Structure 1
């Protein structure tokens, strides 16, 4: 009997070659069994393959059979004793990944968010393909608990780089039969909420826009996740794409039902836009669309939600010529805007107060500013506004 047993560690390598329909799919399975101090943990890794597409398997992440560093990052378990964090701020992305994975194996869940945040920061500063490949490998492992996979997906959403997003989008190809499917969609939907370094990451939008254009299913969960992410990132090109879809102007060869689901998703997503860079494209749609059209409604909602002086000015400028029917919209929008910004927007470049054609619209402005009616020019001037604001009660 060949002796492969080492006192505390045994490593078995199984190479399985499966041939079908003149195609050979090689799956490399690594089983790492470690025994010590009463612990027996097994970690099995299979090269990740998405669902079969036109007779070909698409890898979830670029992979090479010679990529030993990625394999080691995925399967190594150097120490099963409780991990002691020593200067994690100084660790590289690879070191932090090994620490994070070790914490996962040891069920030290309280420390995982701390190391995860540091790992995300490292990968945001400098990419490390082998870490993404290792994450992909573990997500493809059938024996890994669903709870652990959920933590891996949360980690990708926290990283929020194009590489992390690409991996999440690739995972959607596994379809609704995958136990991870809805967790993946949730991670995609919230990736736009991650404003690391205090900014909107518009570099993510092209990947989402491409996925949006490639949708060939009526799966509303997938379509809503993509629309939400595009809107929350708020790149002008992405927001414009959603508005084109909503208005029916997007060039599409898709089925009518797919277009309908996408229009509904765009209608729900655009109001969630908060990126000030989108004010320009939103203003264009707001000005060209008629009151009551879906594109008009959602672009106004988004402008109010952004709430910058520029977006507020756009709403007030529209309100000057708005009909009585526009009072309802204005009421909703001004409820989301700081009253101070509304007051600023009421003054034109000459220092005069703007007036409104509709009495009902003027009433709404008066309600939110607590100032004299906008159409009463004798009582509502720049000087009176300033004096009213500076007087003590």
Structure 2
């Protein structure tokens, strides 16, 4: 169970918004940062600030040890075989684009298929859309069940021997749906396709073991798991990464440069051109330490309990629609919803006036909004620092919004 004093580690939560104590329910967009992460970044800039890998002086060695130490923490966190399989990126978007531009351009040709779902974030849709256009390939979508889940029967019906890449979210940032990645990976491999996983909404919330999943690539962002912005990770199986070309060229990623030919460093550095995101990696390493101290199983249970509590109480509000699986065991810690006849931006504004931060809009998932037959939704997303009192405040705020707009439209 998450301890009641967990909030004390997050300085930003100790403030009022519009005269009310802050209730932060937007962790699917970005999580808040504990003091341990803030201090780790501060310590780097105060005592270790130097470029990595290049120097032989003390500060350079300290910085390199901290940077590469963070890579090892990430390797253990997702159970990768080697740090060679851990590529630091700017975030999930960059990581997915690397796979599309490097692996995709080499392995996808005219008439081939790329398979995704209607629930994908734009970051896991547009790169494949562009690759399909460039190569003359077919972009196929696995249809969703009425509750926003995937059936393995439809997965099997969509993936064929022409499929080269299957890519999907570990968990939907709108529906909260947790997808059966291990089973879908096995189906993809039966047809000779590689499996790419957008782990942005999965890795921060439940235990992720890439060897157990057997996925070929996994992308995730630090800022959604208590780490800083601007740092992310691409995991890839070593055999695949070794045969992929870099997509950025310059310092740090080279071995030898001649006038007309150059060679690249070994993994993982051939994909990390330029001065890397040193402070970000160190901050992410500190975030992983923090999450592991709590325990990923504990975090997962806490979020499922909050989701169950939220759904049960939000369903008592007449005219409120909740999207995605109703069973909290099938979803991550978020609830996406709409109030009848009230735009989600208006709902979010009323909640903000009561100190409650939620997200409103299309959530970078416009094809999914079309599938849901709406233009936008509101979303409350939970993390380790939220509790049932936060949900109670949300429900009270929604009742206030409903009453306010009922009076306005009378």
Structure 2 length normalisation: TM-score? 0.19
Give the structure with the higher percent helix: 1
Question: Bigger radius of gyration, 1 or 2?
Answer: 1
Structure 1 length normalisation: TM-score? 0.20
Give the structure with the higher percent strand: 2
Higher RCO (CA < 8 A, seq sep 6+): 2
